[in-house]
A and B are shown apart, each in its own frame.
Chain A
Amino acid sequence: MVHSSGNGPGGCAHRAVRGVTRRSLLRGAAAGAGAVAVPALLTACGGGPGGGVTLGSNASDAVPKRAYADAFAAYEKKSKKDVKVNTVNHENFQENINRYLQGTPDDVFTWFAGYRMQYFARKGLLADISDLWREFDGFSEAVKKQSTGEDGKQYFVPYYYYPWAVFHRKSVFRTRGYEIPKNLDQYRALARQMQKDGLTPFALGDKEGWPAMGTFDYLDMRANGYDFHIALMRGEKSWTSPQVRQVFDLWRGLLPYHQKGANGRTWQEAAQSLQQKKTGMAVLGLPHPGQQFTAESRADLDFFPFPEIDPAFGQEAVEAPVDGFLMAKKARNRAGAEDLLAFLATPRAELIYLKSDPNNVAVNSGAGTGSYGALQKKAVRLVSGARQISQFMDRDTRPDFASTVLIQAIQQFIGDPDDIDGLVNGIERQKKQIFAAD
């Protein structure tokens, strides 16, 4: 695979600069400045032999990789057709998606629901699978909406999801007599109590730039409602509005209860501090804390939905990113790809996956929950009770806005929470430029 070109000017210059001379200086500079702007040179390898389907996967971690392999093996056995899987490092896959889709992409590839999918559908890079969707069974309206492009056609086959919530250890809550907070006042009071008890109330690691987005999303959805949040993410609302200022203001009030130095901490380290009972709570996604807990302590892990802020919106919205599959517009084996996608939309295919990766939950309501652990069952209840489902900040907005503006802005906020004015003005100016682009 050629995807792994990820490191840009450093990488380019690196090669050119080894022999150190004037010419290579020139070349290094030019490579750094120029070569990265040449698009479409890096394309994926695709196209297996006729009959088989190629599948591009970003599941480069051991657990999901094996889980996917099991699911595809089941398909191969059932259909007697080949699935040729090209697995690419998670981050590189995402970073090269544009070039990948314009080059020679695999027939089917893993991706995310919501705006992050609709963006590529709008660019005409995805194949319309509305016909397939008519046959699908067991997906809720909310999920269907997340699988639908702006043109009303379906593009996405949802596979599994994982809700975000406030995670904690049951034993800590039990021994200290903490109550599950229902609203913001109780949430704050609990945090104060934990601090008094010598516990850091909230674990937070935002070195990667995305983990803290979950907190923003929930604060915004609880304070301003799902509709405002989604409109904000789509660039339709102003970041300088009183609503957004209020969100940052609320967050600023909570920050003293968070671990200090979040920008230098990975989310793994934050989750470990929860496991070690140094911290009391953490806003994370379902798969995250579990991976950092030891086998014995995993049963002690629990979560509660993010508390209510404005009673008008209650706790009705849940952040539950859905992962799944897309067919590339340039797919060579369309029939084969559709056949595979139809299989992947079945409860059976989802359960095969979840057997090896029990940190997620099947999207299809036909998938039996019998094999689920307690946490998974609770996650199903949380999401099925939700009136709206958001995907996550970097999936609900434009990829360029999330990765070049919001990540930096949130890190800046965590480092210096007092300059909300400068922060929201900076975001709004950049938002206008980016959303004006097309």
Chain B
Amino acid sequence: MTTVNRTTGTRPVNPPKAGPPRPARRRGPRRHTRRDIAVLCVLLGLPILLDLALVWGPTLASVALSFTTWDGVGDIEWAGFGNYADLFADYPQFWPAVRNNLLWLAALGLLATPFGLLLAVLIDRGVRFSRFYQSTLYMPVVLSLAVVGFIAQLVLSRDQGALNALLGRQDDPVDWLGDPDLNIWMVLLAACWRHTGYVMILYLAGLKSVDPELKEAAAIDGASERQAFFRVVLPALRPVNVIVGVITVIEALRAFDIVYAVNKGRNGLELLSVLVTDNIIGEASRIGFGSAIAVVLLLVSLGFIITYLVQELRGEQRR
């Protein structure tokens, strides 16, 4: 996956420039005929056009709309930074949503991901019934997060949930999903439950591809098992690490389905994505205001994307 997209992602800029100007000095294969150029133009042009039309067009439209008030019908009116001012000062759900998105990122990144790695290592080392564990732990990944949300409700409902029955707390039940101080942790637990399996499978695949000779060599050099893992195996897993990192960030930023299934993302379960939906998609149609929230989400995403791209490009230069 990565390699395929890497070629489309970074190379497109080079070949056309490098091609035509100096064909004379090069030998045959590097020369671009008219036909090559036409093919290149089509192959590159189409994705670029699609990219502009489907990604950057809407993105810029969204940014522009965030400076207006518009209800989806009538006129679009300029509002300057009004939406942003309202958002930061007077929208009670905004800061909890930001906090929850960050919590989500922290939980997936600091708990679920390392735990998934641990499980992968354990299974890779061949504990008994490893196939069983592998399939069991991977099972939740097959479920959509919305389904995970419904399962969470069955287990955690205050009056009729399984957990309160198991704990014998029917007389003084814990309101797992209704208490705004508690429900985010419950939902995070469910999200981590699913994410762990995902990460585990990715690392398992990665670990299988690590050359055993590397570990042997490390052992011969006198490295302890711990050192061998952290100094040799983990760095060798770099491509997997990158993928896992990206997945974790994406999952944290796009988190939506599970809270929406639980209580529409209200009362302690606010997320930026939910606020965007509430304001834009619903009957509300506060498109300008919702776009402002979307832009905040975009900026947060861009922060991660840029950091990641910079790292990647630097890494490529070094290699």
Interface residues of A (CB under 8 A from B): 5-11, 13-14, 17, 19-39, 94-99, 102, 123-125, 207-209, 260-265, 269, 273, 399-400, 403-404, 407-408, 411-412, 415, 426, 429-430, 433-434, 437-438
Contact = CB atoms under 8 A, between A and B. Distances in A.
Contacts of A260: 175
Contacts of A14: 254, 257
A213 B190 CA distance: 30
Given A9-B297, A261-B158, A403-B278, 17 more contacts: A5-B281, A7-B281, A9-B256, A10-B256, A19-B5, A32-B298, A33-B62, A35-B54, A37-B280, A95-B283, A98-B72, A207-B263, A260-B175, A265-B157, A412-B92, A434-B286, A438-B71
A10 B159 contact: no
Contact of B254 (A17, A36, A404, A415): A17
B297 A264 contact: no
Nearest to A425: B90
A434 B290 CA distance: 12
B256 A437 contact: no
Contacts of B2: 21
A3 to B, nearest CB: 11
B297 A8 contact: no
B178 A33 contact: no
Given A14-B254, A33-B59, A437 B286 contact: yes
B39 interface: no
B157 A269 contact: yes
Nearest to A269: B159
12 contacts: A6-B281, A29-B301, A31-B58, A32-B254, A32-B273, A39-B287, A207-B178, A260-B175, A400-B284, A404-B278, A404-B282, A438-B74
B249 to A, nearest CB: 8
B276 interface: yes
A400 B175 contact: no
Interface string B78-116: 000000001000111100000000000000000000000
A37 B61 contact: yes
Interface residues of B, number: 82
Given A9-B254, A32-B301, A263-B267, A98 B283 contact: yes
A37 B273 contact: no
Q: 8 tightest A-B contacts by CB?
A: A264-B178, A10-B256, A34-B58, A29-B301, A8-B277, A400-B284, A33-B298, A261-B175
A433 B86 contact: yes
Nearest to A432: B90
Task: Determine the main DSSP class of B at the interface with A.
Answer: helix
Among A24, A98, A273, chain B packs the most CB atoms within 10 A around the CB of A98
A94 B283 contact: yes
Given A98-B73, A261-B179, A426-B90, A30 B273 contact: no
Contacts of B291: 37
B305 A26 contact: yes
A21 B9 contact: yes
Contacts of B249: 25
A248 to B, nearest CB: 16
Nearest to B286: A400
Contact of B178 (A13, A123, A262): A262
B266 A34 contact: no
A248 B17 CA distance: 70
Given A260-B175, A263-B178, A32 B264 contact: no
B309 interface: yes
Contacts of B157: 264-265, 269
B33 interface: no
Given A99-B72, A207-B263, A400-B286, A17 B280 contact: no
Given A28-B254, A264-B176, A404-B279, A23 B305 contact: no
Q: Tell me which of B247, B284, B287, B295 has the highest count of chain A C-beta atoms within 10 A of its own C-beta.
A: B284
Contacts of A437: 69, 71, 286
A426 B95 CA distance: 14
A194 B168 CA distance: 25
B26 to A, nearest CB: 30
B205 interface: no
B285 interface: yes
Given A36-B280, A37-B61, A400 B285 contact: yes
